[in-house]
Amino acid sequence: MDDSDATSALERAKERDADDELAEFRERFDVPDEYYMDGNSLGPISTDAADSLENAVSEWRELGIRGWTESDPEWFHYGERIGAKLAPLVGARESEVVVADSTTVNIHKLVGSFLDARDDDQPPGVLANDLDFPTDHYAMAAQLRQRGLDPDEHLLRVESADGRTIDADAVVDAIEENDVGIVFMPSVLYRSGQLLDVERITEAAHEHGAYAGFDLAHSVGVVPHDLHDVGVDFAVWCSYKYLNAGPGAIAGLYVHERHHDVEPALAGWWGNDKETMFDMALDFDPAPDAGRHQVGTVPVLSAAPLDGALDVVRDAGIDAIREKSVALTEFMIALVDDRLAEHGVDVGTPRDPERRGGHVALEHEEAYRLSEALRDHGVVTDFRQPNVVRVAPAPLYVGFEDVHDVVHIIEDILETREYETYDRQSGGVT
């Protein structure tokens, strides 16, 4: 590429930033690195999240036990209140969402509860796929095992034809050809960033009498959802990725209102009807909504940052976030084709924006050492086995010029073979 092309790409990026209605949201965040492209793993802190956390800490200091009823907002209904605040992001009714536990625990709870909720004519097979995030499989397998069902037989996997994506037709075929009671899929594949067709999978599951559940970890906060209207039966997600609620922050769960009578497989007093909870009866009286899937006391300190973090997302608007997200990933893919393809970089993410989540998977045989070299240039991405660098231009704090610069830095590292000065992979968190 010649210099004039390079200049015009930079100019274009600057123009896009100047027109960007979300540009000012960057000021609400403390972003730890110059180019923070890892918000799909751990989003940065916002002033709003820090404030809501600090508010909870001072109320603890000032009120002690009285905080449960006298804090503002009171802690007793914290899980339900934040759930209601999250509901519009996933297209749910307020009663269908609650925050509780972690994503993995919520998978255990809901897959277990829906396995138990099957009618006699619904088979116990759980349909997942080859490219899932591992924890989802560990939880599904464990839930089957706890019911005396062998996961080798009952945890079914749709195979990926290309190692990157899951073909929607293959999912539908698998539902038709197997004894499936529950389909449990991610909305967005964590590695390639493919956005699955939630509606189509849900319809196919329902046509065959199966429940449809989804893990929205990689889409909540960057892709809008329509869970209630689509009729999704249940869903889970975490809030430390695109929702920016902090490391290990409380996770979310959704249960469609037609299933609010489903018995929680992992019952606990925090899932009791709040009206009767302090009767302290030994018989569980589950809440009449998704709140019944809470287990123990709401961890206020891991929920509090989510309160403020959600204000940021609400102020920006999820549709505007998605629009900018698609524009950023389009822009990145075009630049990668232009400048990095010749250096052996492939785009592993679907090119159809309708089938793409918030990040772009760059594939290269030296992906590991490239991601290490990037870090020393102030670019935080992450490496995923075997050959993927995930780059997440999160719309609330990343701009077009950032994307331009990152591609430019990658080009430089590959051109000069700077990555060769880094050690090959040994192990640990990347």
Ligand X SMILES: *Cc1c(COP(=O)(O)O)cnc(C)c1O
Q: Any catalytic annotation for residue 356? A: no
Tell me the residue length of the chain. 430
Report the residue from 100, 185, 238, 262 that binds ligand X according to the rule CB under 6 A: 238
Query: Within a 10 A sphere around the Cβ of 238, how many other Cβ atoms?
Result: 23
CB of 58 to ligand X, least distance (A): 27
Q: Is 359 in the site for ligand X (CB under 6 A)?
A: no
Distances (CA, A) of 280 to 57, 182, 297, 335: 28, 35, 14, 61
Distance CA 336, CA 410 (A): 9
Q: Is 102 in the site for ligand X (CB under 6 A)?
A: yes
Report the residue from 215, 233, 366, 402 that binds ligand X according to the rule CB under 6 A: 215
Among 197, 184, 189, 205, residue whose Cα is nearest residue 225: 197
Q: Is 360 in the site for ligand X (CB under 6 A)?
A: no
Please list, in sequence order, all residues whose beta carbon lies within 8 angstroms of the beta carbon of residue 96, skipping any fewer than 6 positions away.
Answer: 87, 227, 228, 254, 255, 256, 257, 289, 290
Residue of 81, 356, 369, 390 marked catalytic: 390
For helices 318-335 and 400-415, what crossing angle results, to 10°?
30
Omega cis (within 30) before 386:
yes
Report the residue from 23, 93, 118, 135 that binds ligand X according to the rule CB under 6 A: 135
Q: Is 382 in the site for ligand X (CB under 6 A)?
A: no
Q: Any catalytic annotation for residue 119? A: no
Beta-bridge partner residues of 272: 286
Q: Is 80 in the site for ligand X (CB under 6 A)?
A: no
Q: By rule CB under 6 A, what string of x and - marks binding of each residue 166-195 to ligand X?
A: --------------------x---x-----
Q: Is 217 in the site for ligand X (CB under 6 A)?
A: yes
Residue of 81, 241, 292, 384 marked catalytic: 241
Closer residue to ligand X (CB): 95 or 143: 143
Omega cis (within 30) before 73:
yes
Q: Is 103 in the site for ligand X (CB under 6 A)?
A: yes
Q: Is 136 in the site for ligand X (CB under 6 A)?
A: yes
Residue of 14, 133, 285, 337 marked catalytic: 133
Q: Is 133 in the site for ligand X (CB under 6 A)?
A: yes
Closer residue to ligand X (CB): 217 or 318: 217
Q: Is 218 in the site for ligand X (CB under 6 A)?
A: yes
Q: Is 165 in the site for ligand X (CB under 6 A)?
A: no
Q: Any catalytic annotation for residue 240? A: yes
**Beta carbons of 294 and 49 less than 8 angstroms apart:** no
Give the pairing type, strands 97-99 and 126-129. unpaired
Contacts 24+ apart (CB under 8 A), 165-169: 165/131, 165/189, 165/192, 165/194, 165/350, 166/129, 166/130, 166/131, 166/194, 166/196, 168/196, 168/197, 168/200, 168/201
Q: Is 234 in the site for ligand X (CB under 6 A)?
A: no
Q: Is 244 in the site for ligand X (CB under 6 A)?
A: no
Report the residue from 47, 104, 178, 297 that binds ligand X according to the rule CB under 6 A: 104
Site for ligand X, rule CB under 6 A: 102-104, 133, 135-136, 186, 190, 215, 217-218, 238, 251
Q: Which residues are catalytic?
A: 133, 215, 240-241, 390
